[in-house]
Amino acid sequence: MTRIVIDVPVLETDRLLLRAPCPADYPAYRAFLATERSRFTGGPLEERHAWRAFAAMIGHWTMQGFGMWTITLKGSDAPAGHAGLWYPGTWPEPEIGWTVYEGYEGKGIAFEAACAVRDHTFGPMGWTTAVSYIAAGNDRSVALARRLGAVPDASATRPPHAPDCHVFRHPQPGGTR
């Protein structure tokens, strides 16, 4: 038997822990993808497609060495959302992405998690660029990208599945927050 093992760093902020996704996180992920709130991230999805998407999120860590973290509040292991890096083979650039589940919105969680991801990306990982691909109409994510200091990049290549998305380029840490 061959076992697949990968180390996923834990990112810590004042209020949050970003940890590896695990099977116990699936019900919250599935619940999110079953709602209209998931329309900007490919949903709503039937359960069989939600399961595949969750498996892809975990598998991304093995294939790329980075991926999405599960966001939890310190003192709780309940998933509040996910944030991290996404770079499937067909995409032109790596993405910093975020999703906050129902009941956790409007509390600064997505901003805090995305800052931690960005700082880790440009710090320990040594990346020099990252973008966020944001679906047209997703005004809350556009506002968050701007708050992170990201700027629109009209000349950037879009991923094949989203030719009309907005592309926001993230500055290295120290930029405007």
At 21-63, the pLDDT tens digits run 999 999 999 999 999 888 887 778 899 999 999 999 999 999 9
Better-scored residue on pLDDT, 89 or 19:
19
Q: Give the chain's domain count.
A: 1
Q: Is the dihedral of CA 82, 8, 85, 18 positive or negative?
A: positive
**Which residues form the domain of 159?**
11-169
Does residue 120 lie in a domain region?
A: yes
Residue 174 pLDDT class (50, 70, 90 cuts): low
Q: How many CA atoms lie within 13 A of 12 on its CB side?
A: 2
Does residue 72 lie in a domain region?
A: yes
Give the pLDDT confidence score for residue 38 in this predicted structure: 80
- Residue labelled with tokens 């094949």: 160
**Which of 104, 101, 76, 86 is closest to 17 using CA atoms?**
76
pLDDT above 70 covers a percentage of the chain that reads 98
Does residue 141 lie in a domain region?
A: yes
Does residue 6 lie in a domain region?
A: no
Sheet of 11-12: strand order equals: 11-12, 16-19, 68-73, 79-86, 95-100, 131-134, 166-169, 151-152
- Residue labelled with tokens 């440009």: 122
CB 138 within 8 A of CB 146: no
Cis peptide before 173 (omega within 30 of 0): no
CB atoms within 10 A of CB 60: 19
Domain with residue 30: its CATH number is 3.40.630.30
Question: The whole model's pTM is what?
Answer: 0.94
Does residue 35 lie in a domain region?
A: yes
Does residue 174 lie in a domain region?
A: no
Does residue 71 lie in a domain region?
A: yes
How many angstroms separate the CA atoms of 145 and 177, rounded?
10
Does residue 64 lie in a domain region?
A: yes
What burial class does residue 176 get, using C-beta atoms within 10 Å of its C-beta: 0-12 exposed, 13-18 middle, 19+ buried?
exposed
**141: which 2 tokens?**
């994510």
SS3 20: coil
What burial class does residue 128 get, using C-beta atoms within 10 Å of its C-beta: 0-12 exposed, 13-18 middle, 19+ buried?
exposed
